[in-house]
Chain A
């Protein structure tokens, strides 16, 4: 079965590509990238006015299965990923039970192979039951396909435990993904500590709850030599710490989420629980620093922290509702609307920040628009108009911080291993 992607703007910084080109795919593999290509038989897709990118990866999603299938499943979450233009996701281990052993990793791998619309890479827990006390079976999980390790959802409070984890994980060459939050500082906070917490009478989470642990984990990465990836950084101070660490040569990478890039605490005028996330929306100055860090390269990747919840769980008092917003389906459109269409960012940077950056940071296989590579390809219609409504999502989660937004640009087609995961804007299958 041959496929010809005809006349798209093919962008891949890893190949030095940004030109109108054709791509031929055969048996799930890219066989040629070049001008005026033809195929004797097979399917030709007109990609004029489209942007063709190497398959985007979201390395921070919560697929909720096993245990919280009413919020999301591997099937629904990967359909949401395809809808949003991703060909791969890495899923966090805070399921029920926690993904903290080889057999639990295998469950996800097998379920994803059977039902996944895109590729799924499990992230294993660092500590058993994510309790922060005892190492989980890292080696066993690696053997079953875990790519990285994280206790995401909460930080490991003990520096000593973190040190042991980094020392041990280093042996496998995998990155440790840190959720940086000192609970003794964050306490029962639900919004950024400052103007909004004071005005709304809500308990605050100070920026230092994140920054003290970012500083600690960078110091421990320096000590142990373990690869460290910092999840969902939300403050200017955190980025400053990463900038300095990178300058010293520490093996540290970091991600930011679309909601921290495109929303700040000023959005919290009412008590809309879809705007309750952890880390919380920070100040406008923090948001601007994150965007600047993204454009200058301190930030390695955009990851969504896709955190679906059921409607009834979010329809609660602000302090009682769970943290989290969905993100898979709006990320690319938001990046285009706010950064590409406004001339702040190139498509080449998008490919770096949403494909190569995340894949390198979290240890996913590289994807390039190059002969011999698997045909994991994201095709974007940069002029598509998107109105974000509850009905529009493929995810089971409707808890988007961007409900009601009108966005520009949308993935129109997604190929995973040469198979359509998304075609003409419709999720396959």
Chain B
């Protein structure tokens, strides 16, 4: 069980709960290696994936997670739904509430959408990414991957590189790292920094090369050109030369350090193909842990501990 009914931002979970979620996810990860990858835990519970923004990996990850726990999963995507007919988010939420679902995963273009749902729905809400605000399950799966790769979280120095101000991933990962005793350092040109990085609790650096030797994790973000009002740097070429992760920069990282990316990648911009595909990259481990972590979140939010051990 978790104290909060919802996971809308990282404020909804304590440091202890984060560890509990990761530990629970570990036991589910084992299930994901079996030939029969299914548990009866959430049988009879209804989980709705409410996706107002295009998403492949996150939606599939939640969908697979709900199926592996035997929940009845329903997918709602904006293009196939009432929203194209002009229905408001609140009306959609009230409609779903009337159908009695147990948990809603919401992905939305605008910040605060999960909070709007929580006001009118009597079920658990998981934020699957709201605008440039937060994406807490991504942060949790990132912590899981870091713990798995490096054996601990406390004391880690995690460099988050690139488009910080348009990144809901950074919006959740920075506070998540702070909670578990790691040090987030956000690195990028000032044009891609949030107005007040101190509010998130991150150190700021503009020069990636200076910071690299001190990092345990280099976490590259995709530059979200679609969200920027004007080009935040002169060219992709210059961006790659200042902030792109390449073989030369990989060599500057300590030998134990790993490279992460939430996907989808712009190969050749923030990361070169050889680094993305190298042994130092744990990018696919992130995707793999995503399913287990989301299973853990669903299980714990829906009071799963009452229905016996996880695996």
Name A residues whose Cβ lies closer than 8 Å to a Cβ of B: 187-188, 193-195, 197-204, 206, 270-271, 312, 315-320
Contact = CB atoms under 8 A, between A and B. Distances in A.
Given A201-B130, A201-B131, A270-B115, A317 B110 contact: yes
A315 B93 CA distance: 12
A245 B46 CA distance: 64
Interface stretch (B31-39, B62-70, B195-203, B292-300): B195-203
Contact of B196 (A187, A195, A201, A203): A195
Interface of B: 88-90, 108-113, 115-116, 130-134, 168, 171, 194-197, 199-200, 229
B229 A319 contact: no
A363 B54 CA distance: 54
Contacts of A193: 195
Contacts of B229: 187-188
A371 to B, nearest CB: 57
Nearest to B175: A199
Given A187-B229, A199-B199, A315 B111 contact: no
15 contacts: A198-B196, A201-B112, A201-B130, A201-B132, A202-B133, A204-B195, A270-B115, A271-B116, A315-B90, A317-B89, A317-B108, A317-B111, A317-B112, A318-B111, A319-B110
Q: Which 5 residue pairs across A and B have the least CB separation, nearest first?
A: A201-B133, A271-B112, A317-B110, A201-B111, A198-B196
A204 B199 CA distance: 14
Given A188-B229, A271-B116, A316-B89, A198 B111 contact: no
Contacts, number: 65
Given A187-B229, A202-B133, A318 B195 contact: no
Given A202-B133, A317-B116, A194 B108 contact: no
B195 A194 contact: yes
A198 B171 CA distance: 9
Contacts of B110: 317-320
A319 B111 contact: yes
Contacts of B133: 200-202
Contacts of A200: 111-112, 133
Contacts of A317: 89, 108-113, 116
A203 B130 CA distance: 13
Contacts of A188: 229
Nearest to B167: A201
B60 to A, nearest CB: 24
Contacts of A204: 195
A252 to B, nearest CB: 29
Between B134, B171, B199, the greatest number of chain A beta carbons within 10 A of the residue's beta carbon is seen for B199
A202 B116 CA distance: 15
Contacts of B200: 198-199
A265 to B, nearest CB: 11
B112 A318 contact: yes
Contacts of A203: 132
A198 B113 contact: no
B115 A198 contact: no
A319 B113 CA distance: 10
Contacts of B89: 316-317
B240 to A, nearest CB: 26
A201 B171 CA distance: 8
Contacts of A198: 194-197, 199-200
A315 B199 contact: no
Given A202-B111, A312-B88, A319 B196 contact: no
Contacts of B171: 201
A16 B191 CA distance: 56
Given A200-B112, A201-B130, 13 more contacts: A194-B195, A195-B196, A198-B194, A201-B132, A201-B171, A202-B111, A203-B132, A270-B112, A316-B88, A317-B108, A317-B110, A317-B111, A317-B116
A271 B197 CA distance: 21
Between B111, B131, B132, the greatest number of chain A beta carbons within 10 A of the residue's beta carbon is seen for B111
A198 B134 CA distance: 11
Between A197, A315, A317, A319, the greatest number of chain B beta carbons within 10 A of the residue's beta carbon is seen for A317
A197 B116 contact: no
Between B110, B197, B229, the greatest number of chain A beta carbons within 10 A of the residue's beta carbon is seen for B110
Nearest to B171: A201
Contacts of A316: 88-90
A316 B93 CA distance: 12
Contacts of A270: 112, 115
A255 B142 CA distance: 50
A318 B119 CA distance: 14
A200 B200 CA distance: 10
A370 to B, nearest CB: 51
Nearest to A206: B195
A201 to B, nearest CB: 2
A345 to B, nearest CB: 33
Contacts of A319: 110-111, 131
A102 to B, nearest CB: 38
B199 A271 contact: no
A5 B235 CA distance: 74
A187 B191 CA distance: 14
A229 B116 CA distance: 39
A193 B111 CA distance: 15
B302 to A, nearest CB: 25
Contacts of B132: 201, 203
Contacts of A318: 110-112
Contacts of A194: 195-196
Nearest to B52: A317
A275 to B, nearest CB: 12
Contact of A201 (B90, B116, B168, B197): B168
Contacts of B113: 317
